[in-house]
């Protein structure tokens, strides 16, 4: 029985030593925690006070802004136009909008008629045959372009100058020129 008690005591001692070894660092760390807790609590209390003060300042600012806006609205209502003036302005605006729509439609019709309807002079002459003189073909197409000009479609000035150079009549050379080869 003595040996069993001894074994029991050894077992209890081993378990106690294991507990002390495993729990020792935790107990030491826990002993240091109250200082950290105190610091954390004081910081959170200071933060809460600062947040509360900031919230109170923001509330005061917002209340002042509301008062300013109400005063501004009151001033604006005093200078607001009368209902009769407002109705007249709305009626004039609607009248001008209707007139603008009518003018827009008219402008579109004019543009369509000028852009897509060939002129009478341009449609009377048939195009030259493909085997005709190149200058004759060039004159025909230049005339077509120039007769079809509108405010919306013009050939650029440099193109017009180039067409003029191409369409220029040949000059007769001086038959009495001594430098001319015979």
pLDDT at 134: 74
Distance CA 120, CA 150 (A): 14
According to the model, what pLDDT value does residue 115 have?
A: 56
Amino acid 151: pLDDT: 47
pLDDT for res 94: 94
Residues 23 and 75 in one domain: yes
Query: Within this chain, do residues 144 and 100 fall inside the same structural domain, yes or no?
Result: no
Choose one of 29, 53, 80: the last residue of a domain.
80
Domain count along the chain? 3
Is 131 found in the same domain as 111? no
160, 139: one domain:
yes
Specify the pLDDT at position 158.
Answer: 82
Q: Do residues 123 and 157 share a domain?
A: yes
Q: For the chain, what is the mean pLDDT?
A: 77
Residues 107, 125 share a domain: no
Within this chain, do residues 145 and 160 fall inside the same structural domain, yes or no? yes
Task: Write down how long the chain is.
Answer: 182
Among 33, 57, 80, the domain boundary falls at 80
Per-residue model confidence as pLDDT tens digits over 71-90: 888 887 777 667 888 889 99
Interval 147-166 mean pLDDT: 69
**Residue 131 sits in which domain range?**
119-167
**Position 9 in a domain:** no
**DSSP string computed for the chain:** -HHHHHHHHHHHHHHHHHHHHHHHHHHHHHHHHHHHHHHHHHHHHHHHHHHHHHHHHHHHHHHHHHHHHHHHHHHHHHTPPPHHHHHHHHHHHHHHHHHHHHHHHHHHHHHHHHHHSPPHHHHHSPPPPTTS-HHHHHHHHHHHHHHT--SS----HHHHHHHHHHHPPPPPPPTT-TTS--
More confident residue, 170 or 31: 170
Q: Which residue would you say has higher pLDDT here, 74 or 155? A: 74
Do 109 and 123 lie in a common domain? no
Residue 13 located in a structural domain: no
Give the rounded percent of residues in the chain with a pLDDT score beyond 90: 15
Tens digit of pLDDT for each residue in 94-137? 999 999 888 888 887 877 776 554 544 445 567 777 677 777 77
Per the domain annotation, does 7 fall within a domain?
A: no
43 to 31, 32, 33, 58, 108: CA distances (angstroms): 20, 18, 15, 22, 75
Residue 45 has pLDDT above 60, yes or no: yes
What's the pLDDT score for residue 175?
78
């Amino acid at each position: 029985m003595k040996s069993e008690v001894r074994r029991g005591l050894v077992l209890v001692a081993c378990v106690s030593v294991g507990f002390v070894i495993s729990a020792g660092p935790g107990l030491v760390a826990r002993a240091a925690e109250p200082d950290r807790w105190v610091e954390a609590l004081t910081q959170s209390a200071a933060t809460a006070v600062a947040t509360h003060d900031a919230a109170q300042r923001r509330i005061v600012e917002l209340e002042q802004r509301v008062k300013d806006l109400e005063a501004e609205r009151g001033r604006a209502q005093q200078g607001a136009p009368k209902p009769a003036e407002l109705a007249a302005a709305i009626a004039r605006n609607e009248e001008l909008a209707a007139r603008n729509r009518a003018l827009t439609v008219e402008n579109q019709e004019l543009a369509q008629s000028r852009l897509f309807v060939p002129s009478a002079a341009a449609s009377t002459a048939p195009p030259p045959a493909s085997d005709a003189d190149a200058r004759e073909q060039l004159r025909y197409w230049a005339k077509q372009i120039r007769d079809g000009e509108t405010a919306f479609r013009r050939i650029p000035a440099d193109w017009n100058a180039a067409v003029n150079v191409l369409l220029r009549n040949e000059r007769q050379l001086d038959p009495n020129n001594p430098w001319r080869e015979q």
